[in-house]
Amino acid sequence: MRQHSATRQLGGLAIRLLCCGALIAPTALRAQQGKPPEVLVMATGGTIASTGNYYGDRGGEVNKVSAEQLTAAAPGIDKVATLSTEQFSNVASGAIGPKQWMDLARRINAAFHDRPSLAGVVVTHGTDTMEETAYFLDLTVSGDRPVVVTGAMRPADAIGADGPANLFNAVRAAAAPASRGRGAMVLMDDRLFAAREVTKTNTTRVETFQAPEHGPLAIVDHDTIYYNRARPTRHPAFDLSNVTALPRVDIIYSYGGADSVLIDAAVAAGAKGIVVAGVGAGGLASGQGAALRRAGEHGVVVVIGSRTGSGRVAGSETRPTAGDLNVQKARVLLMLALTRTQDRAGVAKIFAEYSGAEP
């Protein structure tokens, strides 16, 4: 892991923050404190750090842009925060999974611990699995300082590249006092979303990130970050200090004619949990029920979600369901829940608290 430190002086971009009725003037706060907020930019790779032909020969040129080059490409960024940068990795987001999630969470927790003056952290990340990493960080980074995950739909050298504006706005959001207590968020296309709610909805459009049935937490305008919701109730972060590896959890899709084969294969591969992308409000193909019961008898915890893309799956005290988490996020929560308990009712309780399944 390479680390760069680039401290830059800031000037006075006025950002007015309207939050829960309170109008805050950050420039005034900064003037009082004598220096602009400190933000750490942690770069992991993705399209934001890639160059090359967007639809053609990207292969030879991907992932060549460093964390320092990313910040240098966002004019004025040094006027909104005192930046430091760290190159965590430089890979496409398909190469980021449970091991990298844990390393990243540990690194961010350590940065917050070691630097009390740090206002927030920005993570640059490929967009394909961004929502999973963001949700993992939401569940595992402790304290009230924000983590803002951002990326780009267009490479760094594309016409109309969105990376510099996204990074600029993510740094503004991470520096803003109004962002405290909101957990991890995703900033894309001038909007901030809660990590637990956001999902990628389109393969290529810059407005691909949406939060179905919830909407954005904030609109990021040139002069203002306008939060339109009160701070959420936060549950304690999952403690990773004794976790060496996350348990295997697989996602099984339900569809007309689906049978037991993939479920049995997941159990044989050592899955400790299965998330089902059920039909409708958590229904199953008739060929899957017996295999899921068998999995349960083997101690595998089954969580039922939905493949529809929005809406709740109602649960009970003994039957864990995804609530309104999509299945990829239910998988993240199940992996973490299984580090606390392997008991089905215990997992159901955690899901009720964290996922919105609670009636």
Is 128 or 358 the residue whose CB approaches ligand DAS more closely? 128
Based on the shown chain and the rule CB under 6 A, indicate whether residue 151 belongs to the binding site for ligand DAS: yes
- Tracing tokens 């990021």 back to the chain, one arrives at 220
Site string for ligand DAS, 98-137 (x = CB under 6 A): ----------------------------xxx---------
Among 17, 67, 153, 198, binds ligand DAS (CB under 6 A): 153
- Closest by CA to 306, choosing from 332, 288, 272, 283, is 283
Of 95 and 279, CB closest to ligand DAS: 95
Residue (92 or 141) nearer to ligand DAS, CB: 92
51 counts as binding ligand DAS under rule CB under 6 A: no
Work out the number of other CB atoms within 10 angstroms of the CB of residue 101.
23
Number of residues this chain uses to bind ligand DAS (CB under 6 A): 9
> Cβ 104 to ligand DAS, closest distance in Å?
15
For the chain, the C-alpha Rg in angstroms (whole number) is 21
Q: Does 83 bind ligand DAS (CB under 6 A)?
A: no
Name the β-bridge partners of 323: 313
Residue 46 found at the interface with ligand DAS (CB under 6 A): yes
CA 264 to chain centre: 30
What would the DSSP string read from start to end of 72-106?
Answer: HTSTTGGGT-EEEEEE-----GGG--HHHHHHHHH
Catalytic, out of 44, 47, 82, 127: 47
Q: How far is CA 324 from the centre of its chain?
A: 16
Whether the CB-CB separation of 251 and 328 falls below 8 Å is answered with yes
140 is catalytic: no
Q: Does 61 bind ligand DAS (CB under 6 A)?
A: no
Determine the Cα–Cα distance for residues 69 and 5; give it in Å rounded to an integer.
13
Give contact residues for ligand DAS (rule: CB under 6 A): 46-47, 92-93, 126-128, 151, 153
